[in-house]
A and B are shown apart, each in its own frame.
Chain A
């Protein structure tokens, strides 16, 4: 097999799929603050050359950062000790694609199975809220104490819900080889 044939066989299906699904950005691997800052640059550049209006760009960027930082804060696949305040390296993936007229942001990372019920509860609650209710909940959370176990302010999900044009979608998939972890996927449509 020639090099060209091998590229055709091995990479072309991957590129074809990405093209077909209008993938604008995809990253899988370990996330750190530096990697997020570099990805943010890439995403911003991509959005500015694509001619998206400023408001949509800001919403997309905001949700992108919240998703990426959720991975650094909460992914259960970690190379760093949970006791350190920052400098974390945690595994996950993010993807931005276009579906019809909308941008779709997806992220995925394993979480501790013990956290699933609470996370599901929060997401379900937010999913049923109107935009006004989301904004009100955001204001209340901003003024409240930081919930236990939260490294952010518990505001991340509300921020994504506020910026999205449809309710957030999510999924939890059991990991057979590792029952204490569950794969968490979150989708925001901007």
Chain B
């Protein structure tokens, strides 16, 4: 399946879905005008990729420094899809990056961890620049 790469803008993250190497990354800021439009293709491609995964080992890196409310909704549906793939026997490792004093992103990560137990959740603390 063809890889997906979307370059970052000031208000949308870099999306790098390297399906051939099973490494999926989101990095940057996320407050696009229309999160459903921005994430629409990424979610569709992700679901298609995951439906073909069988016993795969997938690494997911999420290093978002800020996401707005509508991006949160889209991220949640992405993790839902990843969790389903993990329940079907794929190994999904989620590296959740957040600043050491960013409680909002830390708490959202903890919720994901509680809601999607099939995903192997790794909390990655970074220090402020």
Give residues 28-43 of B contacting A (CB, 8 Å).
31-37
Q: Which residues of B contact A139 (CB under 8 A)?
A: 111
Contact partner of B10 (CB less than 8 A), chosen from A37, A152, A163, is A37
Residues A86 and B33 in contact in the complex (CB < 8 Å), given A41-B10, A58-B102: yes
Q: Which of B13-21, B44-52, B70-78, B84-92 contacts A (4 or more CB under 8 A)?
A: B70-78
Query: Is B11's beta carbon under 8 Å from chain A?
Result: yes
What total of chain B residues lie within 8 Å of the partner, measured CB to CB? 24
The answer to whether the Cβ of B2 comes within 8 Å of any Cβ in the partner chain is no
CA of A184 to CA of B68 in the docked complex: distance in angstroms? Answer: 21
Q: How far is the CA of A72 from the CA of B35 in the complex (A)?
A: 13
Cβ contacts under 8 Å, A97 to chain B: none
Judge whether B37 and A36 touch: CB under 8 Å: no
A153 to B35, CA, bound (A): 9
The answer to whether B66 has its CB under 8 Å from any CB of chain A is yes
Residues of A whose CB lies within 8 Å of any CB of B are 33, 36-37, 40-41, 53-55, 58-59, 61-62, 65-66, 69, 72, 85-88, 139, 142-143, 146, 151-153, 155-156, 158-159, 163
A-B contact pairs, 24 of them (CB 8 A): A33-B11, A36-B31, A37-B9, A40-B10, A41-B10, A54-B102, A55-B101, A58-B102, A61-B66, A62-B66, A65-B66, A69-B70, A85-B34, A86-B34, A139-B111, A142-B76, A146-B36, A152-B68, A152-B70, A153-B69, A153-B70, A155-B72, A155-B73, A163-B104
